[in-house]
Amino acid sequence: SPPFPAGPQIVLSVYGPDFFGHDVVRGYGAVHVPFVPGRHKRTIAMFVPESTSRLQQLTSWFTGRRPEFTDPRVVAQGEGREVTRVRSQGFVTISFNIM
């Protein structure tokens, strides 16, 4: 099957500083690009992967290295995400102006 079967998507990876000033992932999300001409607003639910153990959580907090997805297809397709622990991390609103 093709990597993006439902049409084009925008995949977001949002980064920002943590308590120690390290640049860490703040959230991932994806949305399909509308095909209908006009102005469209979409709200994207963002999420972040979580460490699976308390030791990993503590280690990642001290080192500033938190779990990240290396392949944007994981975010776009959701394939394999069902076995990954994720936490909701807010929302991003995006506007499309389609001609």
pLDDT tens sequence across 47-68: 888 766 677 666 666 666 666 7
Q: Is residue 67, in this structure, part of any structural domain at all?
A: no
Q: Is residue 73, in this structure, part of any structural domain at all?
A: no
Q: Is residue 76, in this structure, part of any structural domain at all?
A: no
Count of helix runs (H) and strand runs (E) in the chain: 2, 4
Is 44:29 a contact under the CB 8 Å cutoff?
yes
Q: Per the confidence metrics, is the pTM higher than 0.85? A: no
Residue, of 59 and 22, whose pLDDT is higher:
22
Q: Is residue 66, in this structure, part of any structural domain at all?
A: no
pLDDT at 21 over 90: no
CA-to-CA separations, 76 to 22, 88, 99, in angstroms, rounded: 26, 16, 24
DSSP state, residue 33: P
What is the pLDDT confidence band of residue 18, given thresholds at 50, 70 and 90? confident
In this prediction, residues 73-95 reach a mean pLDDT of 74
Q: Is residue 69, in this structure, part of any structural domain at all?
A: no
Range of the domain at 29: 9-59+81-98
CA-CA distance, 83 to 60, in Å (whole number)? Answer: 20
Domain count, the chain: 1
